[in-house]
Each structure stands twice: as structure tokens, then as C-alpha cells.
Structure 1
Amino acid sequence: MPLELGCLYTERAATAAAMATGRCLWLFLWNILCTSHCIYFPPNEVNLLDTASIQGDWGWLTYPHNGWDAISEMDEYFTPIHTYQVCNVMSPNQNNWLRTNWLQRNGARRIYIEIKFTLRDCNSMPGVVGTCKETFNLYYFESDRDIGSNIWENQFVKIDTVAADESFTNVDLGVRRLKLNTEVRGVGPLNKKGVYLAFQDIGACIAIVSVRVYYKKCPAMIQNLAVFPDAVTGADSSSLVEVQGQCVDHSEERDTPKMYCSAEGEWLVPIGKCVCSAGYEEQRDSCRACEPGFFKSSSGDQLCAKCPLHSHSDVMAALFCQCDTNYYRSASDPLSAPCTRPPSAPVNAMSTVNGTTVTLEWSPPSSNGGRSDVRYNIICRKCAWEASQCEACGNRIRFSPKQMGLTQPAISVINLLAHTNYTLTIEAVNGVSDLSLESRQFVSLNVTTNQAAPSQILVVKQENTSQNSVTLMWQEPDQPNGIILEYEIKYFEKGKEQQSYSTLKARGTSVTVSNLKPGTRYVFQVRARTSAGCGRFSQTVEIETAKSVSLRYDTTTIIWICFALVTGLIVLLAMFICRKRRCGYSKAFQDPDEEKMYYQNGHLRFPDPKIYVDPHTYEDPGQAVREFAREIEASRIKIEKVIGSGEFGEVCYGRLKLPAKREIPVALKTLKSGYTEKQRRDFLSEASIMGQFDHPNIIRLEGVVTRSKY
């Protein structure tokens, strides 16, 4: 149907020219539409209406009836082509409306109207000056539902006046060149569910080739492992819509992923990201599981790593690798660390005993198990002499610097008991020793501490008491610290310790102290002695001897008793002298002491008692030795073994061979090398003291050696 131009032209020629123009306009439109079906639309644009895809009449409303016309033709492929045209250029005051159907906005806050149209240059048509226009108006109306044709012109809101950038003339018609204009207008913000569009013609010669109504969106995409869904743009041309992303499968947020959707449908300003979870690594825009033999222990950007030394993984998406048999990880080891094992035993262990202190030294293990945190523990056990039974050393033992967790291969064990067997164990451990089911590796040293002075005797008991004697009993010290050689009993009358006291030696744990005064309170103390010296005296024990029984006789009885005793003594002496004479008494048979007995003035005289001389009164103790002891040549003495040690010397077992006598066993006391002058004087004083004794119950001093045999 040709485009009606109205009846304003009175000349027939003008009317014919206008109708010819309408037919030529359609021919050019057909050529344009044939090439417009394959237009590409950007992915960030969502069409609400595209007349180019409508098969058949668009179904729009026109008002008045002689305004816009729907023109339908077939293209070369026999596809219907539809346009709306109007060309009432000869009549003034044109007001022709073309309204679309109701368009749902589908959540769009702002829509865009793309209009493709052709427009005839008014100057190319004769007789239309003053009535021909080269623009048209675009309107919209919002509603929540389709209200049909019940819309008034004054309900529409004007969007814009649309003018053509290019218009065609008769020349263009002659060469079949039609200039197609494309104009886009935006509308927003929209608040209701749908919208109507309207085109108002005010006297132009125009053909609307196609209308596309769309809104813009930011298309779904994956950025930093976060999925951002389609996001409709904002209502304003400058608005930014914040969109929060969702992490892809097997990933997690590092920082909340966000992006902003611009009004042009472009993603801007990415913030935050997602990272692949443990056991997964990034591959393009997804996270894939770690292969067997690989692992990833924590979420992050890192890739799956190969299993560390002495470990393995047999599953997909392994978080860590299992340790091989007999290999372990400590709680402080990262999962990326290799598996390790306990260390071997320490080597080259040695001990040094100094009294009751033992120093241990050793070398590190030959294998540290693959770790650098090797530590050493010391285990102390006290062992009996008779059997192999051992027990823990107890809390009195001190370890310097400490007993457990040593970092250096040396330690001192202090406060051990003297003369005691100990087993000291050095074990090497590291961070996985507690995890291993195998026994710990160690080296043990057996040591014996030196003898020392014994501890104090705690309890001394009174066993028996008489007028002149007291029997005491006690127990061996709790800490003998060696072999008890003897016990020394010190006693004195109470209150007279500063004046004098006496001592007595005993080998057992009991003794009878004789020659005490009756009815007298005595104070007793006991101490033990080993080869290392004497211990402390015990606490004092006070014991009072029994009182003497006094006999009551009269004077006459006492005189007769004395007379009888004297008479008896005289008779015994007379009988003894007579018997000696009668038996031929000879001086040749006298004992040495008997030679010293003689009569004087009718009285029998006994030899004078020997006087003890204190060697400390001599300025030179050697002079006292020469006076009271005889010198023995060193070559006549043979030492066989050491049987004990004293304060400043050793006691040895040996043999002595004197001239014209047979070899006899003797005990020899020697002065230790490195002695002090005081020790030498004490040693010589002891020899001079022993040389003054001559009694069957006292050890006899054979002699001294003061000169070397070399």
C-alpha cells in the first residue's frame, strides 16, 4: 500500500510526485532490510523488543488512521519485511502517533531505544515549504500492566526530539542510495513493571525501518576464581552497581570478591579474590584436584607440590602425604616437611669420677634421623654390689646443667652416694621419638664413686651399765660411703670435756667401756671411719654408772683384816725367796726385767716404769724417729698390694726380711707423693709414737724407712 501524503497539494503533479516518492522509498528500504538481518548485538545488551526479528505485522497502534501506515513486502528470500511509514508533508499541523505494545522491563532500571529510520530531505520535494519537517518526537509511558489502547497523549513523557543525521534526496533515489539513520536514546530510572513507547510525527517524510528496545547488563564472567552473575546496570548513566562474586567449586574466599557494573555494561574495579582450597590447584578459571603423589596442605595460589622425602599419597586431592613406615612428623612440623625418624644412640661416651661427682661426655649420634632438634636425656640408676638389681637414683641427685633436653653432649651428675655403683644411661631423642614404637637408642656407662667419710651415726643406745663399765650399741651409718674400718668412741665425764677425754676403737657396732668411776655421769659419742676418713660424731648420749656399795664394819674388824693381809703377804714373800734359793736360782736364767729387780734395805724393788715422750716436743721429728725407732733398709721390704688408704698415706701388704731372720708378713704405711710439710711431720710423729709401745696387745713397730734405696 503506497504511503498517503494527504490532500494539501492542489496540483495533481505534486500529488503524483509525492506518491512516486513513497514507492521509491520502499524499494530502497527493501535493499536496506535485506542486509540488516545479520546484525551482531553485543553480549552486554538484552533485547526487550527487536522488530527485525518479528515475523509479520508489529501490531502497533496508530492514530489517526491516516497517519502511520504498516508496510509489508517480501524480500528475495520470501521473508516478510515490515516497516511503519508516514509522509504527510503537504498538510500542516500533523500529529500522527505510533505506539508500541506493552514491554516488560524484566528488572531493567534503564532502557535504551535504538531506532533505525530514513528521512526525506524537505528541500528535495517541491511545494512543501512550511509544512515539511525533518524530525519526530519519542515518548514513553510506564505501567504495571497492559492497558490496551486506553492511553491519552498527555500521559506520555517525552524522551527526545529525534533528527536525522542524513536525509535522502531525489538524487539518492536515482542511484538507489538510501541513507539509513540510527539513533539511540536512554530512559530511566524505570519503576513500574512495563513501559509503552510512542513515536509522534509532526510532518516529516519518514520510514521507521526497525526499533530495538534493550537494557544493558554486565555479562556473567569468572574473575579471580569468582563467578559474577549477570548484573543489570543502574538507573543512571553514571551509576555503578556493586556485585559480589561466588567462589568456584573447590575454592574459598581470600577476600570477599567484588566488582562494579558500570552503566555501559562493563565490569570495573575487581576487589578481593578466591583461592583454590587445600588439595586443589588453579587451572584456568577452575580448581582441579591434586594428582596422586602430589599434595596441597592449605588453600592459596600455590600449585600442588610433590610429596616430600619419605612420604607418599595415593588419592586425589590429598591434603598431605602419609609418612612411610617407621618415619614420622612431629606436631610442630609443617605438612610440607619431609618425614623423619628417631636418632641412633650417642657414640664415644666416657665418664670421669671425682669423689661423688661424675662427668659424662659423648659424641652426637651417627644418624640424627633427618632432624636438627636432637636432644639428650640422662637416666640415673643406683645398683647394688651383690646383684644386678638397680633402682632410680632419687631426688637428691643434681644434674648440671639439666637432666632432660640437653643440647650439648656433656653433663655433670652431682651429689651421688660415695662408694656406690651407678648405671648412667644417655639416650638421644628428637621431635619424633615420642611417636615411634621402637625403643629409644641409648648408651650406658657403669661407674663407681670414690669412698668418702661416712655419714653421722644417728642412734646410740645404752645396752648395759655397771659401776665401772657401760655397754653401747649403735647401727651402721645410713651412708657408709665405703667400707667401715672401725668405730671411734669418745667419752668423758660430764662437764670435763675441756679438761680431758678418752677414746676407744671398736670394729663392731657395740663396745664395752671399762674403768669408769662408779656413780659418775659420762658423755659418749661414736663415729665411723673409712679409708677416706672419719665421719661426724653422733649426738651425745649421757649415761651414769652404778653407784658403789659401801660396807659398814667397825674399827676392830678393819684392823684385823689389815693385819691378816700384811701377815699373809710376808709369808708369801718368804716362801718365794726360800724357794728360789733352794732351786739354785741363777742370774743366767733371769728375764731382762728380772735383772732390774733387786733388794735394797730388805725391800724388793721393781723396775721403774717407762715414761712416754711426746714427739711434738722435738723441734725435728726425725730426731724423735731415730731415738724411738730403728732404720730399715728399703731393699729388705717387698710391697705386694695396697689394702687401704689413709689421710696422708696408703696401707700396703708386704714382706720384711731382716738379717739372720726369716721373712715375715708386715703391714706398711707409706706417705703419698706430693705430701705437704705438715703431713711429713705428722707421719714421722706417728712412727715415733708407735716406736715407744711394747705390749702384746699393741701393734709392734718393726722400723722405719726414711732413705731411698736408690
Structure 2
Amino acid sequence: MAVSNTTLFTPRCVWPTLLLLWILLWEAGCETQYQAEEVEIFHSDKQNSLEWKSEPNAGWTSVNLASVPVLQACARRMTRTVLSPWMERKDAHYILMDISLAQEQQPSEQLSPLQVHFFDKNTPMTRFQNSLTVLNLNTSRPFPVNAVLPSGYFERRLALGLGPVRRTGFQLAFSYSGTCVLLTSIRLYYRRCPDIVSNLALFEGTGAASGDLRGSCVNGAVEVSPPVRECEADGEWGPEHGGCTCNPGHQVMDDTCQTCDMGYYKPANESGVCRPCPQNSNTYGKGSERCVCLQGYTRLPTDPEDRGCTKPPSAPVNLTARHHNDSVLMVTWDPPFDRGGRQEVMYGIKCEKEVESSRQWQACGDTVVFLPDSAGLTNTSVTVTELSPQHGYRLSVQAWNDASTLGGAPPSSTATVTIHRWKVPPVVSTQTPGLNFSELAVVPTASKSLSRTSMWMTIGILFAILLLMALIPIVVCVLRSNYTKLR
């Protein structure tokens, strides 16, 4: 007999189903820590005997059935009541009951209901008192009159609400007017919302139906608005209102606030993680709200927190002055190598005039005109007019940015060029990048050169005249001598 090979085939439609099932299981696992708790107050199965009070006497009796006590009311037909002992409510706000019961058939009428009574009391009652019935219970399948052990006829009822409790304790009572009823496995309990940490707020466990509860922020967190949640009747937490946020210098980590490490910061009133310090800044410890600028750098009040610290720019480079005519200079330069970490850079130019008598410098004042202006320049050239060729000048170009406005531009932001008096274009020296000032040797002026030339020309002319005057007598004497000989 041939055996055929079969290949296991998984339809494509199975994979989405498996994925959905995995998601549901994962979500269910995440929610288990928030499921309602049940706190038991009384369970008849854990009692050796039931000390409940019957009216009339022997109207209700306690018997053991399968090693657990059972309450039964199977005497003559009349209203029989049984009252439980007083029980402390603990932190319950609403009492629930699980119970198993069986009822005997009634020949000619409907089953009489088992009536449940609930008493919210600070002190115990010694006798049953008429009160409103909170529950009427009937079984769907009563046992026959001749049944010996009606264990198969017990019906289980779960989570029956008995009512709210506000006092220190309560008591439970049953009344029955039918032929026979048996009660077993009476369990009284309440549900409780568990401790929960959510959105950085801690809510301590409390009894179900306790109403709104105010939470407290976890360590390292502060209130944005008071965190409030309601513990609902089913023992589940309702939606949260309000909340907390981590203190400055702390970040959210698994419903806790974790301190930012050195070199990281987190501003106030902001969610999210710790950020690394921006350029040219650092922190001096853990848990910092902001980063501090390194020495020489600054941050403007208008700068955002995540912007690096900046500084004034370095000096302009390649500063040069060229003659346009005897009273006009064209001054040009290139932007600084270091802009200080900012995009904007502007320039200002200052003029100083040499004082001949003291060889010092004084401001040029209004006698010199700058085109287009002497301050707030964004281009790299300026025209200087109304200069006198009979004076020396010193021109300083300063680079600055918004960071310069805090502490002023340092000397390292300024380049200087000196122009000596002239009548022809002078040799102009420019500052070497990295130096703030360069002094030039005074170039001999054209007027001094001309005066020296004139002096030597005058001496030459006088010497020629004297030589000519000395030669004339000699020539005259020679001519006279020759004339005498001829005679």
C-alpha cells in the first residue's frame, strides 16, 4: 500500500487571525495588574457551624451537607426568617453575594421566592426587623418532594448586589414561606480597585463604588492639575482626570520620573525625554533644568532652550584701504572666519585722526563722512570721504552679532588699518588676521622729497655761478696778454 506525503498548509487568512489573537492576549496581560480585587468578608463553607438566629425557633436549621454547613427551612409553611451575625464592612462600599440554593416543588402554586434582606448597621441587631427586600430568588428547577439528597438541584448565583454600606457593619437575613429551601456556600464580599500608577499619579486601592479618589504624584513629579479617578462599582478604575508631569530635570520612565544625567537636561512643564545639552553648553550635575554656557559663550533671552550658546564673532579679515582720490578712501574687508555660532554678522567702522603735536589719535568727528553708513553695515565695503591728505588716519572695522549686545564686542572682533598723510597714494598696511592693531612706519611725504631736490639744485646753480665768476678774470687776463704781444 502506497503512503502519500502530505504537506502542512496554513491558509493565508490564518495569519491575521493569529496576529489579532496575540494582540488581544497581550492587551489582556497588560490589564491584569488593574483588574478588580475581591475581598471576602464571610464564607459559609469555611465555617464549622452557622450561628444564625431563626424566627420562629427551628424555623431555620443548620445541617452539614458534604462537610459544609447548610441552612434549611423545611418546617411547616409559614414565614420563617434567619438573621446573620453582625459583620464589619472593612473598607467596603458595596456588598456582593454568591449563593447556592435549592427549592422544593410546591404542588399547586408557584414557588415562593427566597427573600433577601440587608441591614446597614453600626451595632448588631438581636432580632430580625421588617425591612425592604433587596432580592427575591427562585430556582429554575426545584427538586421533587421525595428527593433524599437534592445535591444535583443546587443552582449557583454569583455577584448578587445587596446594596451600599456606609456604617461600620451590616447584617444579612433570609425569609421564606414556601415548603422547603436549602442554602449553601453563602459568600459575602466586596470588590476593590487595586493600587495603580498611571500617568505619574499613584492611586491607592479602595473599595468599589467609593466615588472619586484623588491621587498623588510619584516621586520627582508635580501636579499639572489634581489627578482624580473614580473607583467604579465593578472594582475597575474609571478614566483619569488631571495628571502629573515630571519635575524639571527628570524624564518619564515606566511611570516614574528618572533624573537626567550630566550633560542632559529637560525644561520645566514639558513631557518627553532628557535632551543632550546643545553646542557650547553643559550641566554641572544631574537633574538639570537647563544647560549652562561654557566660558566665553552666552545665550540671549530670546534664544530657545535647544539652541547652542554663541559668542561675538572674530575680527574681519583682509581689511584694505585704497585711494579713490585725495579726499576719498575705499575700505573693503572679508567676513570673519568665526561667526560665533550665529548666522547674522554686522559691521561698524570708526575713524581716528592723528594729532601732529602729540602723535596721539582723536575721533574724526563729523568732518569725515561714511557711505552708506558707519554702523549696522551688512556688506563688506564702505566709502570714506572728506579726508585731508595732510593728516594720518586710523580706521577700525568691528564685526558684531546679537551676542555682542550682552557684553559688548571684545577687542578680538576688531581689525585696524593705518593710513599716513599723503599727496600721492601711500603704501597701506593691513592687519594680519588674529591681530587687533598694526602700526605703520611713517612714509616720507612728497613735499619733503621736493624740498631736498630744490635745495641741491640751488647749491648747484650757485656753484656754477661762482665757478663762472672765477673763470672770467682768468680769461680776461689771457686775452690781454695775447693782445700785448701782438702789438
Q: 1:59 matched to which residue of 2?
A: 51
The answer (yes or no) to whether the contact 2:346–2:400 under 8 Å persists in 1 is: yes
Q: 1:70 matched to which residue of 2?
A: 62
The answer (yes or no) to whether the contact 2:209–2:234 under 8 Å persists in 1 is: no
Question: 1:68 is matched by which residue type in structure 2?
Answer: W
Alpha-carbon distance in 2 for matches of 1:135, 1:50 = 23
Question: 2:63 is matched by which residue type in structure 1?
Answer: I
Of 179, 197, 201, which aligns to 1:226?
201
Q: 1:26 matched to which residue of 2?
A: none
**Residue-by-residue CA offset, 1:43-73 (whole Å, 9 max, x unaligned):** 5355462224754444332222111223358
Q: 2:286 matched to which residue of 1?
A: 316
Of 96, 100, 104, which aligns to 2:84?
100
Question: 2:360 is matched by which residue type in structure 1?
Answer: Q
Note closer, same or farther for the CA distance 1:400–1:214 as it changes in structure 2 (3 Å cut).
farther
Note closer, same or farther for the CA distance 1:318–1:113 as it changes in structure 2 (3 Å cut).
closer
Alpha-carbon distance in 2 for matches of 1:186, 1:174 = 29
Note closer, same or farther for the CA distance 1:409–1:151 as it changes in structure 2 (3 Å cut).
same
Q: 2:41 matched to which residue of 1?
A: 49
Q: CA deviation at 1:114?
A: 1.2
Note closer, same or farther for the CA distance 1:242–1:173 as it changes in structure 2 (3 Å cut).
same
Question: 1:392 is matched by which residue type in structure 2?
Answer: A
CA radius of gyration, larger in: 1
Unpaired runs of 5+ in structure 1? 1-41, 76-80, 123-127, 236-240, 452-639, 644-651, 657-661, 664-710
Alpha-carbon distance in 1 for matches of 2:110, 2:338 = 105
The answer (yes or no) to whether the contact 1:429–1:440 under 8 Å persists in 2 is: no
Q: 1:375 matched to which residue of 2?
A: 346
Does residue 441 in structure 1 map to residue 413 in structure 2? yes
Does residue 119 in structure 1 map to residue 102 in structure 2? yes
Q: CA deviation at 1:368?
A: 1.8
Q: 1:83 matched to which residue of 2?
A: 70
Alpha-carbon distance in 2 for matches of 1:286, 1:439 = 50
Question: 2:43 is matched by which residue type in structure 1?
Answer: T
Q: CA RMSD in A?
A: 4.2
Of 261, 273, 287, which aligns to 1:291?
261
Does residue 146 in structure 1 map to residue 138 in structure 2? no
Question: 1:139 is matched by which residue type in structure 2?
Answer: H
Q: CA deviation at 1:199?
A: 0.6
Note closer, same or farther for the CA distance 1:396–1:213 as it changes in structure 2 (3 Å cut).
farther
Question: 1:424 is matched by which residue type in structure 2?
Answer: L
Note closer, same or farther for the CA distance 1:149–1:285 as it changes in structure 2 (3 Å cut).
same
* Greater relative CO (CA pairs within 8 A, separation 6+): 2
Note closer, same or farther for the CA distance 1:151–1:397 as it changes in structure 2 (3 Å cut).
farther
The answer (yes or no) to whether the contact 2:218–2:256 under 8 Å persists in 1 is: yes
Pairing 1:241-320 to 2, within 5 Å after superposition? 241-254=211-224, 257-313=227-283, 315-320=285-290
Alpha-carbon distance in 2 for matches of 1:176, 1:62 = 24
Alpha-carbon distance in 2 for matches of 1:178, 1:249 = 56
Q: CA deviation at 1:399?
A: 5.0
SS of structure 2 residue aligned to 1:148: coil
SS of structure 2 residue aligned to 1:368: coil
The answer (yes or no) to whether the contact 1:296–1:305 under 8 Å persists in 2 is: yes
Pairing 1:236-635 to 2, within 5 Å after superposition? 241-254=211-224, 257-313=227-283, 315-352=285-322, 358-394=329-365, 399-413=370-384, 419-433=390-404, 434=406, 439-447=411-419
Alpha-carbon distance in 2 for matches of 1:189, 1:71 = 31
Note closer, same or farther for the CA distance 1:362–1:255 as it changes in structure 2 (3 Å cut).
farther
The answer (yes or no) to whether the contact 1:107–1:232 under 8 Å persists in 2 is: yes
Question: 2:114 is matched by which residue type in structure 1?
Answer: F
Question: 2:74 is matched by which residue type in structure 1?
Answer: C
Alpha-carbon distance in 1 for matches of 2:85, 2:260 = 56
Note closer, same or farther for the CA distance 1:60–1:87 as it changes in structure 2 (3 Å cut).
same
Q: CA deviation at 1:138?
A: 0.8
Note closer, same or farther for the CA distance 1:399–1:181 as it changes in structure 2 (3 Å cut).
same
Percent pairwise identity = 25
Alpha-carbon distance in 2 for matches of 1:387, 1:204 = 134
Q: CA deviation at 1:407?
A: 2.8
**Residue-by-residue CA offset, 1:295-341 (whole Å, 9 max, x unaligned):** 32344332122333344446322333444454444444334333444
Q: CA deviation at 1:136?
A: 0.7
SS of structure 2 residue aligned to 1:197: strand
Alpha-carbon distance in 2 for matches of 1:450, 1:272 = 80
Note closer, same or farther for the CA distance 1:376–1:418 as it changes in structure 2 (3 Å cut).
same
The answer (yes or no) to whether the contact 2:217–2:223 under 8 Å persists in 1 is: yes
Question: 1:247 is matched by which residue type in structure 2?
Answer: C
SS of structure 1 residue aligned to 2:412: coil
Does residue 208 in structure 1 map to residue 183 in structure 2? yes
Note closer, same or farther for the CA distance 1:258–1:147 as it changes in structure 2 (3 Å cut).
closer
Q: CA deviation at 1:348?
A: 1.6
Question: 1:445 is matched by which residue type in structure 2?
Answer: V
**Residue-by-residue CA offset, 1:331-373 (whole Å, 9 max, x unaligned):** 4433433344442211121235566665432110122233213
Note closer, same or farther for the CA distance 1:62–1:121 as it changes in structure 2 (3 Å cut).
closer
SS of structure 2 residue aligned to 1:440: helix
Q: CA deviation at 1:104?
A: 4.4
**Residue-by-residue CA offset, 1:218-241 (whole Å, 9 max, x unaligned):** 433222222233455548xxxxx4
Question: 1:442 is matched by which residue type in structure 2?
Answer: T
TM-score (norm 2): 0.67
Note closer, same or farther for the CA distance 1:251–1:178 as it changes in structure 2 (3 Å cut).
same
Q: How many residues align?
A: 401
Alpha-carbon distance in 1 for matches of 2:258, 2:36 = 30
TM-score (norm 1): 0.48
The answer (yes or no) to whether the contact 1:426–1:443 under 8 Å persists in 2 is: yes
Q: CA deviation at 1:390?
A: 1.6
Alpha-carbon distance in 2 for matches of 1:120, 1:227 = 48
Question: 2:217 is matched by which residue type in structure 1?
Answer: C
The answer (yes or no) to whether the contact 1:68–1:96 under 8 Å persists in 2 is: yes
Question: 1:350 is matched by which residue type in structure 2?
Answer: T
Unpaired runs of 5+ in structure 2? 1-33, 424-447, 459-463, 466-487
The answer (yes or no) to whether the contact 1:428–1:440 under 8 Å persists in 2 is: no
Alpha-carbon distance in 1 for matches of 2:369, 2:230 = 72
